[in-house]
Amino acid sequence: MKREKMPEPTWSAAKAKIKKLDECELLNLVADLYRLSKENQAFVHARLELGADPLQYYKRIINDCIYPDVHKNKPIQISKAKKAIIDYSKAVGDTLGEAELMTFFVEQGNAFTLEYGDINAAFYAALNLMFRRAIERICSLPDQRRDAFKERLETIMNSSAKIGWGYHDELRDDYYTAFPLPRS
């Protein structure tokens, strides 16, 4: 006997079912999703602006992934740190928060290198790419919000002067392309 293949569930199918739920059923569904994982809880907290700092959960992930505890043999996990930024963006879509997380990502990677020494080309390529993305976000912010970020990016750039792999050179080029020195 041949079994008929069931179509894969889609958002359209889920949406049609959700529209039929009453308020109590919908609240129970959201509660179940909330209890299902820490990621879902962080998403809800960020989306609803709950807690003192909705960025804290995402910063903790970035810190653990980009500046891992080497004494516990924790690996660097660039993709997981990037995912934290993407998850925050999906939850809130806040350019200021994204700029903060991207800048924090590079600060942590830079600090890890300064403390533990040279890493590898892929690590620095990820930091350079995130530095450029941070600059893009920062440049889209109102002028009064940019200065603190510019100072942090400049600190990263200056502290990286003795790091290899072309890392410092790219940081410097990207920084001064975005924020040229004033002409005298």
pLDDT in tens, 100-140: 999 999 999 999 999 999 999 999 999 999 999 999 999 99
Specify the amino acid at residue 29: L
- Read off the pTM: 0.89
Q: Looking at residue 2, what is its pLDDT? A: 66
Enumerate the domain spans of the chain. 23-178
Rounded Cα–Cα distance for residues 102 and 30 (Å): 29
What average pLDDT score do residues 4-22 get? 88
Q: Looking at residue 49, what is its pLDDT? A: 87
Of residues 26 and 82, more confidence is placed in 82
